[in-house]
Amino acid sequence: MTTTHIPVIAIDGPTASGKGTVAHRVADKLGFHYLDSGALYRLTALSALRRGTSLTDEHALAKVAEHMACSFSGGDIILAHENVTDAIRAEEVGNTASRIAALPAVRQALYGLQLSFRKTPGLVADGRDMGTVIFPHAPLKVFLTASVAARAERRYKQLIEKGISANMEDLLMDLQARDDRDTHRAIAPLVPAEGAHVLDTSQITADQAVEQVLKWYAAEVK
């Protein structure tokens, strides 16, 4: 049975632009399923780091992605029966995920898994290529952005709240490096999808961003 009739809201953007928070809240408001595609790359990165898989062995990394036993339960992310919700947010994991996301074999290994999240009554998917590659025909595509300074400050607060030490200068450098990798990679670079609504979240709250996305969606389904 085809799933193309199931509505999808694709929300893309760089690291710490607020897309995860916004996407999750929009999904809750609409009663839709939620896909954190970035978590799949972070899960692959965490699995590879734990196994000692060479980060230059594209074939081996694709195998790790293909055979992951992972699931999402509420706000928790499970890997082989272990709750790794916090573990995948470590900076080393995030940086590794950004590097391996540029590998075509890894992206292909996760392609079908991402499509499988499209279930009734609908899906809100956040990532970097949801509107350009995974769900190019989504009725609503949103691209969240924010200044590097604003994103670094958000990331800093998130880490401190979790008891993880952080340095603002290092975070700024990491975000700039990730942005460069994501926007210049040969496959599925980070760019707004055709027809996407661009929303700068530097000076607005998450609630305001959620309200705007819901308004756009309401206009699309009229």
Annotated binding site for ATP: 13-21
Task: Calculate the CA 176 to chain-centre distance.
Answer: 17
Calpha distance 148→180 (Å, rounded): 12
| Integer angstrom CA distances of residue 52 from 11, 46, 99, 108, 188 | 32, 10, 16, 22, 26
**DSSP type of residue 193:** P
Peptide bond just before 121 cis, omega within 30 deg:
yes
Calpha distance 77→1 (Å, rounded): 28
Q: What are phi and psi of 42, to 5 degrees?
A: -65, -35
Peptide bond just before 104 cis, omega within 30 deg:
no
Task: Calculate the CA 164 to chain-centre distance.
Answer: 21
Binding site, by residue number, is 13-21
